[in-house]
């Protein structure tokens, strides 16, 4: 059955190539009907988004890791386009970019990975309210090193944050012992 269908499709393609004038005339005469169907030719099939998503999900289940390998290969072959898309994505979601960059350049601990969504939400809140996200114990200090985790982050007004600069809280030894 499939072989007959392939033969018919090939025959149709060859006929359309040999009769381009007739095809063009038919398309012009039936423009409204073709447009109403939503495809170039009334017999074309176009799957819905749900069908496409389901197909892609099943393919990913059958081929674990293949998608990541294909993405890596595409990024290497299309470096400029991949960079442009990444910049567009970062500009559209600055709170995610900020949280990612902060996590990249700051000390973190493995047990704080489950806090990433909460940290991203904190950065989004700060952006929406005009506040700054501040590390209570600064990441880099002369005698200490704060971590990039939810317990070490707070929202401050821009004036308070500038006033605090890179200093720990004034009562930081007391606060430190209260947490333990």
User: What are the extents of the domains in the chain?
Assistant: 17-46, 47-92, 94-172
Mean pLDDT, residues 76-101: 89
Q: Is the dihedral of CA 152, 157, 161, 163 positive or negative?
A: negative
pLDDT at residue 65 tops 50: yes
Q: Is the pLDDT of residue 57 over 50?
A: yes
> What's the Cα-to-Cα distance from 53 to each of 47, 50, 57, 69, 129, rounded to whole Å?
10, 5, 6, 20, 36
Mind listing the pLDDT tens digit for each residue in 101-157? 776 666 666 666 778 888 888 989 999 999 999 888 887 766 777 787 888 888 999
Q: Are 152 and 137 in contact (CB under 8 A)?
A: yes
* Residue 28, CA distances (Å) to 15, 21, 37, 153 in order: 18, 11, 15, 64
DSSP state letters, 38-87: TSSSTT-----HHHHHHHHHHHHHHSTTHHHHHHHHHHHHTHHHHHHHHH
Most confident range (mean pLDDT) of 40-44, 58-62, 140-144, 172-176 is 58-62
């Amino acid at each position: 059955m499939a072989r007959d269908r392939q033969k018919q499709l090939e025959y149709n393609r060859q006929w359309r190539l040999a009769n381009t004038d007739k095809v063009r005339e038919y398309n012009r005469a039936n423009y409204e009907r073709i447009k109403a169907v939503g495809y170039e030719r009334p017999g074309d099939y176009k799957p819905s988004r749900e069908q496409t998503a389901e197909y892609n999900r099943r393919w990913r289940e059958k081929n674990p890791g293949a998608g990541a390998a294909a993405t890596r290969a595409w990024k290497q072959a299309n470096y400029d386009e991949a960079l442009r898309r990444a910049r567009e994505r970062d500009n559209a979601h600055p709170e995610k970019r900020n949280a990612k960059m902060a996590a990249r350049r700051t000390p973190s601990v493995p047990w704080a990975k489950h806090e990433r969504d909460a940290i991203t939400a904190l950065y989004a809140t700060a952006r929406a309210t005009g506040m700054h996200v501040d590390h209570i114990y600064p990441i880099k200090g002369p005698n200490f090193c704060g971590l990039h985790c939810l317990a070490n982050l707070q929202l401050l007004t821009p004036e308070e944050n500038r006033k605090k600069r890179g200093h720990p809280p004034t009562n930081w030894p007391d606060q430190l012992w209260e947490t333990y």
